[in-house]
Chain A
Amino acid sequence: MNPAATKANLLSRIDGLDRIPTMPAVLAPLLRYVQAPVEPLDGQRVTDMIVQDKSLAAQCLQMANSPLFGRHRIDSLRGALAGLGVHGVSDIAMSCGVLNLMPKDSGGKGIDPVIFWQHSLGCALVCRHFARKISYPDPSKAYLAGLLHDLGIIVNLRVVPKEFCEAYEFARARGIPLHEAEQAVLGFTHCESGRLLADKWELSNDLKEVVSLHHSLQQSNHAGLVALVELSDLLCRMGGLNYGYLENRQVNLFEQTGFAVLSQQCQSLKDLDWARLTFEMDSYLDPVHALVRTIYRT
């Protein structure tokens, strides 16, 4: 396959096709609302949006009872609101809504898309945890950014599954980052295809940059948020919240562009205990896998 020749062809297929996912009906107003600079968010309004979709509401309750979101016993959205707060509930609703867009299989091409579900949810949790640790001003936005950063993978899985699976196998066999394999095989990465979906969904500019620039942060105007995602994504990929394989390389987070950018915004980053943050991520592994199995396989 000639990557240069296929790039234009595949991207045009993505851009023109109706297989590119449309945002679920409930998600669109919710996403608009949580992205709007409204403080404080109105909890009742958020739950009113969620209950419009019974299946989504049921998934939200399953997720709200996961240890990932505290150890509350929750049996209603009202209870979730009381136990987790409005940001907690909207984070959960967005997670269920976005992750439901992941195809259930890759058309027999050998990839279990659950791994991308796990990575995206894991990255969202790590982003939020990391944001809190360094006193980043908006941990909920950090969560949303982690959740959405790989939107392009959903697009690739749906629109160019055969070619994407080839790229994935190329990456896994060599232990290289997925975006490098996509570039080599497809001629473009999930950042580019994700940008098309982010535009279509009319995401806010900072989230569009997260989706399209988390592997090339130098070009970003919202570098703090993108840097946070870049570093969290790396931590996930080098640990147990990866794409189903470990990258065969050494990563020095202190030398990442994201570290330099984020250090300027968050003074406490210089004193961050990276080892502890890495160990703490271990506690997400089992609950993320269990939750994804429960929700995704039902």
Chain B
Amino acid sequence: MTTAALHAVTALEGPPGPDLVRIRDLVYQVAGIFQPDNKLHLLLDRCGRRMKELKTASLREYFECLTVKPQRQAELVALLNEITIGETCFFRNRPQLDALRQVVIPKVLEAKSKVPLRRLRIWSAGCSTGEEPHTLSMMLLEEAHGRLKGWSIEILATDLNERSLAHARNAIYGAYSTRHLTPHFRHKYFIPAGEKLQVQPVVRGSITFSRLNLSDDGRMTFMKGIDIIFCCNVLIYFDLLSKRRVIQHFYNNLLPHGYLFMGHAESLHGVSEAFRLVHLPGATAYIKVNAARRESRRI
């Protein structure tokens, strides 16, 4: 198929076609990641890339590749990779980070105010090459002389992939990863490393990188006393049963007041009833159902 012909198939003009909507709904049903109507052109573009690779002529045929053909599992993973490509960068989801700083951290500190140990434990589960835990560390350092004065911060950053972890430990990043950095963060927390930037030791000091398979029930059991979990665009690759197991672990890993943050358009609907969605300014997160009930009784 020529590029022009493929463009004709995958150009979004007029209402989105039923095949694209079916692909959107399939991705949401299987992976839990949603593309709203205003982002459907991106999904269409990603499908177009895969269709070019597979030499598929129509979205209908591509939908069959995702649902009927023997290689459907691998194709779904390939499409998910296309959907989430380029999302790994510092300050990936600014509203989520602002909500963490302005609403969640104060609530967690309040919940822990009667506990003598002033320690905050945050887990970046599926940290890839480390942009997320480094971002979190920088955000929390900004509060070090404010509301986090006297608190020790532990950021646990885990991933399955050793190569990603090596990159994360090295903490040297190129222009693409650092594109959302404001001058303030760029100058305060990075030093030049050739044409790239390296994260300063003060940021790295609170982070522990380690290899962890989220499906490893034995090791997951030992992740205890966590205040906040970030697990963004990781569970989309898991089947429903595995996803449920991981979420159950997260439930056990989190302290009663704990928070679970997922990716920007990622949902736990149909996966777990142990967590409850809450709305934060410009973002969403999940809290434990029991905690939600306790909070409502306090009101």
Residues of A at the B interface (CB closer than 8 Å) are 67, 70-71, 175, 234-235, 238-240, 246-255, 273-276, 278-283, 285-287
Known contacts A275-B269, A282-B38, A286-B38: A234-B279 contact under CB 8 Å: yes
Chain A residues closer than 8 Å to B28, beta-carbon distance: 276
Residues of B at the A interface (CB closer than 8 Å) are 14-15, 28, 34, 36-39, 95, 102-104, 107, 265, 267-270, 276-282, 284, 287, 292, 295-296, 299
27 A-B pairs, CB-CB below 8 angstroms?
A: A71-B15, A175-B281, A239-B282, A240-B282, A246-B95, A246-B281, A249-B281, A250-B107, A250-B279, A250-B280, A252-B276, A252-B278, A252-B296, A255-B296, A273-B267, A273-B269, A274-B277, A275-B277, A276-B28, A278-B279, A279-B34, A279-B36, A280-B34, A282-B36, A283-B36, A283-B39, A287-B38
Distance (whole angstroms) from the CB of B83 to the closest CB of chain A: 14
C-alpha gap A250/B283 in the complex (Å): 10
C-alpha gap A239/B82 in the complex (Å): 27
- In-complex Cβ contact of B281 among A248, A255, A273, A275 (8 A): A248
Distance (whole angstroms) from the CB of A125 to the closest CB of chain B: 12
- Interface of B, helix, strand, loop or mixed by DSSP: mixed
State whether A275 touches B279 (Cβ < 8 A): no
C-alpha gap A287/B38 in the complex (Å): 9
Chain A residues closer than 8 Å to B102, beta-carbon distance: 175, 248
- In-complex Cβ contact of A251 among B39, B268, B278 (8 A): B278
> Which single residue of chain A is at the shortest CB-CB distance from B281?
A246
Distance (whole angstroms) from the CB of B87 to the closest CB of chain A: 16
C-alpha gap A255/B38 in the complex (Å): 30
C-alpha gap A255/B36 in the complex (Å): 26
Known contacts A275-B268, A279-B267: A255-B292 contact under CB 8 Å: yes
State whether A255 touches B103 (Cβ < 8 A): no
Total A-B Cβ pairs within 8 A: 84
State whether A280 touches B282 (Cβ < 8 A): no
C-alpha gap A246/B292 in the complex (Å): 22
Distance (whole angstroms) from the CB of B25 to the closest CB of chain A: 10
Chain A residues closer than 8 Å to B39, beta-carbon distance: 282-283
State whether B281 touches A285 (Cβ < 8 A): no
Distance (whole angstroms) from the CB of A247 to the closest CB of chain B: 6
State whether A253 touches B38 (Cβ < 8 A): no
C-alpha gap A252/B107 in the complex (Å): 14
> Which single residue of chain A is at the shortest CB-CB distance from B264?
A279
C-alpha gap A240/B94 in the complex (Å): 13
Known contacts A70-B15, A250-B107: A276-B281 contact under CB 8 Å: no
Chain A residues closer than 8 Å to B276, beta-carbon distance: 252, 254
State whether A276 touches B34 (Cβ < 8 A): yes
State whether A276 touches B280 (Cβ < 8 A): no
Distance (whole angstroms) from the CB of B264 to the closest CB of chain A: 9
Known contacts A254-B276, A279-B34, A280-B37: A238-B282 contact under CB 8 Å: yes
C-alpha gap A234/B280 in the complex (Å): 11
C-alpha gap A292/B267 in the complex (Å): 31
Known contacts A238-B280, A254-B276: A283-B296 contact under CB 8 Å: no
